[in-house]
Amino acid sequence: MPILGIVLLVIVLFILVSCIRIVPQAHAYVIERLGTYTTTWSTGLHVKTPLIDRVAKNVNLKEQVVDFPPQPVITKDNVTMQIDTVIFFQITDPRLYCYGVENPILAIENLTATTLRNVIGDLELDETLTSRETINTKMRASLDVATDPWGIKINRVELKNIIPPAQIKDAMEKQMKAERERREAILIAEGQKKSTILIAEGKKESAILDAEAEKQAAILRAEAQKEATIREAEGEAEAILKVQQAQADGLKMLKDADADNAVLQLKSLEAFGKAADGQATKIIIPSDIQGLAGLVTSLTEIGKESK
């Protein structure tokens, strides 16, 4: 009997311990009682009723990422391509997630494929390749509404790869090559145009600078010539002034010496003598100066006799 009591006690303790559950962070436990949903345990310590309650599902509440394989889709202009999608979702209601749909991930995959075909079917090839953001937004809105009864929220939808057919890919590569060559030709032409404009502007600027330099040189030459002329005129004026001053001084001296007419006539004769030093062959002497010459001769003779 004691052994049986110990065994029963161990069994009871085991059952009690097994009824204690600790729910970790970002998780939720769905509890069923006799096969019927009872409650949802959040983070923390919980105790269930032995042999009656059971944990039906451990639900992860973190944001999850699912990468679905490429799906064949047909565009509006009848081009078939392969597109694979990446879905970011989060479980918001564990009860709906457990009882809303049999296989939520498979349901999301199929729903994503059908939604993608509907969205791409309204777009042409070029729009499909250039409108990823628009496609992502439309798919997220459509999937979020469809998965709301399952307790799932679609946070983001991304088109991972868009794979067109080989023929379309070759045509696109040729088109891109032609576009690059066209842009290269345009850039070369624009570069040549700018170079020609810059050269012409440089020549124009050089011509303007040369003309300006020539103008400055001409102005400097004119100013130098003007300065030389002014200095020469000033020199001549100064020379004339000095001659006139000398003459004036001589006349003043004669006046101060109270010279008579004979002296004045003698001075006039000296002046004519200086004039005769040149190349002149004939000199006309006034009569009064001739009389002065006779007077000079007489004075000379008187001087000889006195000796």
DSSP string, 207-259: HHHHHHHHHHHHHHHHHHHHHHHHHHHHHHHHHHHHHHHHHHHHHHHHHHTT-
Q: Is 151 left (phi over 0), alpha (psi -120 to 50) or beta?
A: left
Give the number of other CB atoms < 10 A from CB of residue 60: 14
pLDDT, mean of each 10-residue run, the chain (307 residues): 75 81 92 91 89 90 92 88 92 92 90 92 86 90 92 92 82 82 90 89 86 87 86 82 74 61 56 52 52 48 47
Report pLDDT for 24.
92
Return the sign of the alpha-carbon dihedral for residues 96, 99, 104, 108: negative
Asked whether the whole model's pTM tops 0.85, one would answer: no
Q: Is 63 left (phi over 0), alpha (psi -120 to 50) or beta?
A: beta
Give the number of other CB atoms < 10 A from CB of residue 57: 15
Return the sign of the alpha-carbon dihedral for residues 178, 183, 188, 190: positive
Question: Per this entry, what is the length of the chain?
Answer: 307
Report pLDDT for 302.
44
Q: What are the strands of the beta sheet with 53-60, ordered from one edge?
A: 36-41, 27-33, 53-60
Report pLDDT for 306.
47
**Nearest-angstrom CA–CA distance, 156 and 69:** 17
Residues in Cβ contact with 289 at an 8 Å cutoff, skipping those fewer than 6 apart: 265, 268, 269, 272
**Nearest-angstrom CA–CA distance, 91 and 168:** 40
